[in-house]
Amino acid sequence: MSDAPARPAPTRSVSETELLSTLLELGRDVMSVLDLTELLERIPQLIARLTTFSAFSVYLLDEHRQELRVAYAVGYPDDVARTLRLRVGQGVVGAAVEQGRPILVNDIGLEPRFVGPLRNMNSQLAVPMRRKGRVVGALNLLSEYTGAFSDQDEMLLRQFAAHVAVAIENARLFRAERQYTETLETLAEIGREVSAILDRDKLLTRIAGLTKRLIDYRTFGIFLLNDATQELDLKLAVRYGEVGTAHSVKLGQGLVGWAALHRQPVLVADVSTDPRYINLVADVRSELVIPLLVKERCIGVFDLESPELDAFTKEHAELLTLLASQAAVAIENARLYEEVRRNEERIERELRFAQRVQAALLPSEPPTRLRSADVAGRFIPAHELGGDLHDFITPDPNSLVVAVGDVSGKGAPAALYSAFAAELVRSRTLRRRYSPERVSAAGVLASINTILHDRQLEEYYCTLCYAAFDFKRRVVTLSNSGMPYPLRYSGGECSSIEIPGVPLGSFAGVSYDEMTFALHAGDVFVFCTDGIFEARGADGSDFGTARLRAVVSAHATEPARQIVDAIFDAVHTFRGERRQDDDMTVVVVSITG
């Protein structure tokens, strides 16, 4: 407060009708602004048409911290506006927010609650901004004059604050949607970049830098699992941009070991309250650990730590999980590349190793907890390595996703392309756990097509049939990108599901169709690669769709495993002594209940 005598405010002469008309106009004006920064800048300009003031500030409420911060100010020193914080209930502004009503002070010298850096002010009007009964912040007007604000000013500002609250909420939603879109674009960019790095040390360093674009961490570590010792070795540690000292953590030990063992993210707001926490870095208060999964196998973890309580959110966990799915594939690819490079002079051993890797990446057994379906699959490559892929994924207890695909070409390149495509299928399918409304069968294919096309490997493409079974709603939704038509046995009839599509990776911007069928007990769905349909007999003819339908119809009431074996037996008999020309994959889903 100033030591000079308080000055009375100059009088204003504006009719009530003019003020109400102006208020309506300003309400429309403020509601038309969607950019939050622009909106905050416009507010004092608009309020100046309703009343006069010497200084102005917009406070926004951090509900989690119960703290008010200055989002925009006029007449304040810049450093003060950036750092000023008020607790709810503190000062006139904090009291107005706590009570949910305007507070008018016409002589600050008589107001014990007044706090703030502007000691030359003599009047204050603090008006909370409410949206659907919830306070989102406050408008704060200050004047050098005593009695500067009237009851009419309070009424007008209360009405205007309601418009501003709605406008701020709209601007925040607009910003959140824009940030979400930008985040997805950043994730796609990161995915493209990390997948091109095959040197593991360079890859880990680059991942740490790219992660900073998504989450502003203080300490970040990448642990990789050593299968021989069952320890998580710290391969990269960044603290304030500096490389830290490496150490190891036993699998299951601490938050890091627990996340790796259970293959689940760990989000701890206060590590001092979690008995699993092991103090490896001084002054850590909160921690976020995300497992790096290749299929269901954990190869390591991301570990973020902060000296602040509750520094990480569920949104951070979701973002880092998406990044981890891409990084895990890249790290695994880098590891495989390193193995191949070290052993390239021993081609036979390299091929045997690659065969084991491919077998490990393919599902060894179908899901065992399905109550409504019996599932089986089988893959036989034409050579040492194959380009076929198939997977069974259970995003949640009431669903099953079956993916069957075929990559053009043969040998190691096709196998690597196939492994990458299979991991793309899995990572994009598992997004349903966090954003089920954003994931569809056709959407998964379109997303994978974009990524594969961006790799610019024109000589390679992938055909894929994607089927999402929803046992709660009793429906299955299919989308196809050039695979042979799957078969559906229902009500005693076996027919092809004719759903065409463009192979993945061939063209940019392709959209895919979907077909949905009701599920009934006894229904059988059969997915085969073209190695089954195009198997050549002794006379040079193809095995074809008609023979496949006959086999399925004859064995439709048998378990899924027996249907798969019957198809392979029929193809083998039909081919006779003729060699296998192409990879063969069959997946059968039999609806049991």
How confident is the prediction along the chain (593 residues), in pLDDT tens digits per residue? 444 445 555 555 455 565 556 656 665 666 666 777 787 888 888 888 888 899 998 888 888 788 888 888 888 887 777 778 889 999 999 999 899 899 999 898 888 998 878 878 899 999 998 888 788 889 999 999 999 898 888 888 888 888 888 887 887 777 666 666 666 676 677 777 777 777 888 888 888 887 777 777 778 888 999 988 999 988 888 764 444 444 788 998 899 999 999 999 999 989 889 999 887 777 788 899 999 998 888 999 999 888 888 888 888 888 888 888 888 888 888 888 777 776 665 555 555 655 566 566 667 677 777 788 999 999 988 877 778 889 998 888 889 999 999 988 777 777 788 888 888 898 888 876 666 555 789 999 999 999 999 887 777 889 999 999 999 999 999 999 999 999 999 999 999 999 999 999 989 989 999 999 999 999 999 999 999 999 999 888 999 999 999 999 999 999 999 999 999 999 999 999 888 888 899 999 999 98
Q: What is the per-residue pLDDT for 29?
A: 65
Tokens for 407, please give them: 């990559």
Measure the CA–CA gap between 304 and 281, rounded to whole angstroms. Answer: 11
Residue found under tokens 């005598």: 5
Determine whether 541 is exposed, middle or buried from the number of CB atoms within 10 Å of its CB (0-12, 13-18, 19+): exposed
C-alpha Rg value of the chain to the nearest Å: 32
pLDDT of residue 26: 61
Question: In terms of residues, how long is the chain?
Answer: 593
Angle subtended at Cα 380 by Cα 378 and Cα 385, rounded to the nearest 5 degrees: 125
Phi-psi region of 241 (alpha: psi -120 to 50; beta: other; left: phi over 0): left
For residue 474, what pLDDT is reported?
A: 94
Joined tokens for residue 73: 């100010």
Six token digits for residue 491: 């009500």
User: How many C-beta neighbours within 10 Å does residue 30 have?
Assistant: 20
Give the whole-angstrom CA distance, residue 583 versus residue 405. Answer: 11
Q: Please, which residues have CB within 8 angstroms of residue 463's CB and are 6 or more apart in sequence?
A: 405, 406, 481, 482, 483, 503, 504
Asked if 448 and 425 count as a contact pair (C-beta separation under 8 A), the reply is: yes
Write out the two tokens for 35.
């950019």
Residue 531's φ and ψ, nearest 5 degrees, are -65, -25
Contact status, residue 58 vs residue 139, Cβ threshold 8 Å? yes
Q: Which residue has the tokens 């089927």?
A: 467
If you search the block for the tokens 């200055």, which residue do you land on? 70
Give the CA distances from residue 396 to residues 70, 199, 370, 467, in Å, rounded to whole numbers and listed in that order.
43, 35, 11, 15
Q: How many CA atoms lie within 13 Å of 415's alpha carbon, on the beta-carbon side?
A: 26
Question: Strand 475-480 relative to strand 462-470: parallel, antiparallel, unpaired?
Answer: antiparallel
Nearest C-alpha neighbor of 250 from the set 270, 230, 236, 235: 230
pLDDT given at position 15: 54
Q: What is the 3-state secondary structure (H, E, C) of 366-407?
A: CCCCCCCEEEEEEEECCCCCCCEEEEEECCCCCEEEEEEEEE
Residue 4 pLDDT: 46
Which phi and psi (to 5°) does residue 148 adopt? -70, -30
In sequence order, the 6+-apart residues with CB closer than 8 A to the CB of 202 are none
Contact 208, 222 (CB under 8 A): yes
Residue 216's H or E segment, with its range, is: none
Q: Are 146 and 2 within 8 A, CB to CB?
A: no
- Render the burial of 476-508: b for 16+ CB within 10 Å, e for the rest: bbbbbbbbbbbbbbbeeebeebebebbbbbbee
pLDDT value at residue 294: 87
DSSP β-bridge partners for residue 291: 301
514 CB neighbour count, 10 Å cutoff:
16
Between CA 48 and CA 50 the distance in angstroms is 5
| pLDDT (0 to 100) of residue 434 | 63
Query: Which whole-number Å values give the CA distances from 305 to 84, 281, 310, 313, 424, in the listed order?
Result: 27, 9, 10, 12, 29
CA distances from 446 to 127, 183, 455, 578 (A): 49, 18, 15, 38
Best CA proximity match to 417, nearest among 298, 583, 536: 583
Q: In whole angstroms, what is the distance from residue 425 CA to residue 483 CA?
A: 15
DSSP 91-118: HHHHHHHHHTS-EEES-GGG-TT--SS-
